[in-house]
Amino acid sequence: MTTALNIVVLAAGRGKRMHSDRPKVLHALAGRPLLGHVLDTARGLAPARLAVVIGHGGDEVRAAFASDASHAADPDAAATADDATPIRWVTQAEQLGTGHAVMQALPELDDAAPTLVLYGDVPLTRFDTLERLVHLAGDSKLAVLTAFVGDPTGYGRIVREGSAIARIVEHKDASPEERAINEINTGVLVVPTPFLRRALAALRNDNAQGEYYLTDVIGIAVAEGVAVEAAQPEDNWEIEGVNSRAQLATLERVFQHKLAADLLERGVALADPARIDIRGTLVCGRDVFIDVGCVFEGAVALEDGVRVGPYAVLRNARIGAGTRVDAFCHIEEATVGASAVIGPYARLRPGTALADEVHIGNFVEVKNGQFGAGSKANHLSYIGDATIGARVNIGAGTITCNYDGANKHRTVIEDDVHIGSDTQLVAPVTVGAGSTVAAGTTVWRDVPAGTLALNDKTQVAKTGWVRPAKK
């Protein structure tokens, strides 16, 4: 295999069929832009130079990857963020075909290394497939990725003479006999860079679309005696591009099925592999169970024995061993300790950190709150900007009043406190260890340790009162 490689990614297309103002390559698959998937795989090949050709919405595309690092779908193939090849951005002002797009990148290429051409809207080509293609090309051959399909309509056809590739003809330019060929061109190829320069200079645009086709390079290679090899992907979804919302949705399910199959292979129990969405990375320990309809975004880790109920959404979260996350919980930028119980219908917002054996019940929201071991808020409460000690019980309907209209303030509840139902804690305030706050109390001053806090109340029972009757 070659020791150096140029990679050119074509990402200048408008994507009219997406019916969107967003550049096509920025539409998301599994929570990451299409172009991001391609760059992850490309960087796995450790290219010496990586050029991305942009056009429509180019500034937006560049901005989206301004701080880009590796997020490779194949961890074994990925370069690390520290040694990831930087992107050389190239602008194609007019979209005059794939050959014209590659022409724009020529100044960025090293003639001592072959060039691999990829496409920013073809996100799922495996690293192994590309590595095999690069190995097949070596330093002196041209290698093209082809595929055999049931319906080749719209694709360029691979025309062979005997077993050798003679040329590629685009569908619009193909004869009836050529259209019957079911071996198609994927557009992905590896080519010696000095030859690529000569071939691109010789391209003509006298075809049905008036464009400079990169595929014409194949015929030029045959005419010059440059060996042309071909390889095929293991699965045809590897070469599927995205030109419409329907195609994007199809590839989303393909990718999610692949991720689900990998989880099953690693021992994760899925209630239904067809009903899970992973939009980032999901790392699971042993004996993890995930129910239907769950969504995992960003970096999520589930330790041994975690059970996630149906339709939970976890984003950038870590869940400790043996914890149960019940149905319809939302957990974002939060950590949960071991043997905790969350939900159902609980929401943990950014900055939340729960220790072991914490219970957060139905319709409880915690924002930037820390709970000590064994503490509980089981019903209908809001805990914001609060530090909760160990073994605290927070009654139903409790609210930390953390916002005064201009600034946020913190509530501190020390160990072994019991907070009665329907309590309001007006921050900044501290409730001392071992104290009790009676139900219905508004706490606006610090509560000393070991005391009972309550507001004076008067209860009156009137006799002879008649309940109003409905008219």
Q: What is the per-residue burial (b if ≥16 Cβ within 10 Å, else e) of 195-222?
A: bbeebbeebeeeeeeebbbbbbbbbbbb
Q: What are the DSSP E strand ranges found in 152-257?
A: 157-161, 164-169, 183-191, 228-231
Which helix (H) or strand (E) segment is 40 a member of? helix 34-44
Q: Distance from first CA to last CA of the chain, Å, rounded?
A: 90
Half-sphere exposure of residue 196: CA atoms within 13 angstroms, side-chain side: 34
Distance separating alpha carbons of residues 373 and 354, to the nearest angstrom: 8
Which pair of tokens denotes residue 124? 């799922």
Catalytically active residues, by annotation:
379
CB-based contacts of 194, cutoff 8 Å, min separation 6: 111
Q: How far is CA 402 from the centre of its chain?
A: 33
Decide: helix, strand or coil at residue 58: helix
Q: What is the per-residue burial (b if ≥16 Cβ within 10 Å, else e) of 387-423?
A: bbbbbbbbbbbbbbbbeeeeeebbbbbbbbbbbbbbb
Distance separating alpha carbons of residues 160 and 139, to the nearest angstrom: 23
Put residue 21 in one of left, alpha, beta given phi > 0 → left and psi -120 to 50 → alpha: alpha
DSSP single-letter state for residue 428? S
Closest by Cα among 3, 207, 196, 221 to 101: 196
